Amino acid sequence: MIEAMSNVSMTLDRLMAVFAGLCLVTLLVVAWPVLMGLWPILVVALLHLLAVGWCFRSAWRRNWARERLWIEGDRLVVEHFRAGHKERSEWPAAWVRIQTERGRFAELHVFVSNQGRRREIGAFLPVGERAQLARMLDRALRPQSAWGSAKPIQVS
């Protein structure tokens, strides 16, 4: 099984700790004006914290992704996970091809394709890790490939 995970540098627990610290500092800063009777500042601070919390949550969910790829009998199974979303696709291992293409800004894209169907894999990975994913998957599929003398995938 090959598992590719997004490079999220901060765990959810750490993100919540940072947000809790930010809340604490913000509320300490507005405490004196609120005690002086300027209570609208507290409302603005709470709205600000609500917006920042929503932005943190959105950024976390948008950047969290994982793919699992494995060969099950004569099938290549690809499971793609995003926060709250899961997709599964199956491909005939003997006839599937791993293709790499350079994108608009010379970034590498890796595709699994067969009979007109095509799916990008590892789009959330850094370019070097995408190339490594393509080589690993090509190596795993080579013993089952019906393409015979196909050359190993070359990623530059």
The pLDDT value given to residue 22: 96
Mean pLDDT of the chain: 89
13-29 pLDDT, tens digit each: 899 999 999 999 999 99
Q: Where are the alpha helices (DSSP H) in the chain?
A: 12-35, 40-63, 127-141
Q: Whose CA is closest to 100, among 90, 92, 109?
A: 109
95 assigned to some structural domain: yes
143 touches 137 (CB < 8 A):
no
In which domain, by residue range, is 12 found?
4-63
**Lowest-confidence pick of 50-54, 58-62, 64-68, 140-144:** 58-62
The pLDDT value given to residue 8: 75
The pLDDT value given to residue 105: 83
Mean pLDDT of the 49-73 span: 91
Quick one: 81 and 122 in the same domain?
yes
Name the DSSP class of 150: P
Quick one: 126 and 73 in the same domain?
yes
